[in-house]
Amino acid sequence: MSSGGETIGIFGAGWVGLVTAACFADLGHRVIVRDIVPERIERLRAGEVPIYEPGLSELLERNRERMSYTLEVSDVTSEADLLFVCVGTPPTYAGDADLSAVWAVVEELPELGQEAIMIMKSTVPAGTGEKVRAALEARGLGHVGYASNPEFLAEGRAVEDFVHPDRIVIGSFEPSDGKRVGTLYDGIEAPIVYSDVASAEMIKLASNAFLATRISFINEIANVCELTGADVEQVAEGMGLDRRIGPHFLHAGIGYGGSCFPKDVTALKQLAGNSGYHFQLLSSVIEVNELQKRRVVGKLEKHLGPLAGKVIAILGLTFKPETNDMREAASIVLGSRLLAEGAEVRAWDPMAERDSYLRGARICDSILEAVTGADAAVIVTEWKQLRELASDEVRLAMRNPLIVDGRNMLDPAQVGAAGFAYECVGRPGSCAPMPAATADLDLESTPE
Ligand code: UGA
């Protein structure tokens, strides 16, 4: 569909911006990407992809002719009148979303024609669209349309999610603006939900908050399973077959992380609070998630006693596999807790960004290096390389053959038969019951 393509501007060459740009180019549109970081633009122009996302570099390469990169706003607005905002909205200290990058885009827009539409892909609090519209009006750009078109891309499968979405959500003040944005997705088979702007903004936040709630729910069920002898995997399977419940996001583990769930759950809670409503359920979702990361410490202590001087191997640092992203990863909280207990922490991950996270831990190049001489190996991220962890080689290398499986990756019977003590999440077998965890959590000092 190359002939009927539109020209699209993308503000922000981050993960959302680049995936969106590449996928729209692949649908036949011309795409101009603008970022404020010169090095990033230079690398993109040179054909380098600054982030890891499966399929993205191939897509960028395939559509090179239709894509351009610039530091100048005017390069975008002189050619494109569909302007996607894909800038970061990280949490502030108060837990709200920091919209300064969004406001910077609004401030920088020059004169625009009647046809221009600003389209928000970044995750923003409900009500932001109204504020942007007021700011545009104040700048004499009241004729510019506005639409909220939230992204539902999961890291590691973002290209796939863009091409095969469950739904596309487009909220607009003018129905005609919404329809024009909708035509950009021609070629993608998915229902389009047209709504008002505030509802589109809320659909995004509510979806992530609901998914996080499911995870905290199944994690609490897992904790009760540990006390009652039930198996959370069987429970989740039995629950998930009920079509009203469905099977997704019922995988118990060490808690959710990443750049989206922790931020968006907190942002929705704060948004409610700032509007005068106490969103009690989300407070619990956050608290359960914090507790879940710390339960591993109790499981280690049950086998090893006090952890001072013990050598613990953390296997997997990223918040989930197939990404190098460590934002809000469970490994950070767990590693810090272990270091605070006086343990010696080793860490292995095939992709994690090796910067300032987990200062004090020794980063190892291989699983074997991490577990050699260790008193316990903790699976934090379900990298496929860890499926064979319960091997003779690993058992012989460890000082004490204990595996704590924070992702229920391994089969308890097989791990036991291989000569390891084994703890997992909400499953019996060699996982002995754990008392309910509450004691060591100081919620005052945890990010909410
Ligand atoms: C999430 C949503 O899935 C996307 O739809 C959304 O667009 C994105 O946030 C966003 O707002 O940008 P993402 O953060 O990439 O995507 O990761 P997920 O695959 O959803 O996983 C989030 C966390 O939940 C991970 O730490 C994962 O290990 C954990 N999780 C997930 C569980 O503990 N149990 C589950 O059953 C599922």
Structural fold of domain 7-195: Rossmann fold (3.40.50)
Q: What is the mean pLDDT of residues 101-125?
A: 93
User: Of 121, 205, 260, which is best to mutate to test ligand 1, by the most ligand atoms within 8 angstroms of its C-beta?
Assistant: 260
Residue 322 has pLDDT above 90, yes or no: no
Q: Is 382 in the pocket of ligand 1 (CB under 6 A)?
A: no
Mean pLDDT lowest among 240-249, 320-329, 367-376: 320-329
What backbone phi and psi angles, to 5 degrees, belong to 288?
A: -60, -40
Phi, psi of 425 (to 5 degrees): -120, 105
pLDDT of 422 above 50 = yes
| 424 is known as an active-site residue | no
pLDDT digits (tens, 9 = 90+) for 130-167: 999 999 999 999 999 999 999 999 988 999 999 999 99
106 is written with which tokens?
């609004």
Strand partners, 11: 34, 85
Q: What is the pLDDT of residue 362?
A: 94
Task: Tell me the per-residue pLDDT of 167-207, one tens digit each, with 9 for 90 and over.
Answer: 999 999 999 999 999 999 999 999 999 999 999 999 999 99
Cβ 151 under 6 angstroms from ligand 1? yes
- Tell me the mean pLDDT in the region 8-15: 96
Q: What's the pTM value of the predicted model, to 2 decimals?
A: 0.91
Pocket flag, ligand 1, residue 256 (CB < 6 Å): yes
**What is the reported pLDDT for 435?**
46
63 C-beta neighbours (distance < 10 Å), count = 20
Cβ–ligand 1 contact at 383 (below 6 Å): no
Tell me, rounded to whole angstroms, the distance of Cα 185 from its chain centroid.
24
Q: Active-site residue among 260, 364, 424, 431?
A: 260
Give the confidence band of 48 by pLDDT, cuts at 50, 70, 90.
very high
349 close to 316: Cβ distance less than 8 angstroms? yes
Q: Which homologous superfamily is 196-448 in?
A: NAD(P)-binding Rossmann-like Domain (3.40.50.720)
Cα 250 to middle of ligand 1, angstroms: 12
The per-residue pLDDT of the chain, averaged, comes to: 92
Domains 7-195 and 196-448 share a fold: yes
CA of 56 to the centre of ligand 1 (A): 19
Q: What is the pLDDT of residue 436?
A: 47
Q: Is the pLDDT of residue 323 over 90?
A: no
What is the signed CA dihedral for 343, 285, 204, 211, rounded to 10 degrees? 80
Residues 152, 155, 159, 165, Cα dihedral to 10°: -30
Which residue bears the tokens 């309910």? 436
Residue 125 CB: number of other CB atoms within 10 A? Answer: 22
Mean pLDDT of 38-50: 95
- From the CA of 330, how far away is ligand 1's center (Å)? 13
**Ligand 1 atom with the shortest distance to the CA of 16:** 12
Reply yes or no on whether the pLDDT at 400 is more than 80.
yes
Residue 56 pLDDT exceeds 50? yes
Question: 69: CA distance to ligand 1 center in Å?
Answer: 29
> Which of 244-248, 277-281, 415-419, 439-443 has the least mean pLDDT?
439-443
Amino acid at 385: Q
pLDDT at 101 over 50: yes
pLDDT of residue 314: 97
The rounded Å distance from CA 294 to ligand 1 centre is 20
Q: Are 415 and 430 in contact (CB under 8 A)?
A: yes
pLDDT over 90 at 358, yes or no:
no
Under a CB-based contact definition with an 8 Å cutoff, are residues 63 and 47 in contact? no
- The proportion of the chain whose per-residue pLDDT surpasses 70, expressed as a percent, equals 94
pLDDT at 354 over 90: no
Residue in this structure with the two tokens 């894909």, named with its chain if needed: 86
Parse the chain into domains and list their residue ranges. 7-195, 196-448
Out of 122, 204, 215, mutate this one to test ligand 1's pocket (max ligand atoms within 8 Å of CB): namely 215
Strands 117-120 and 145-148: parallel
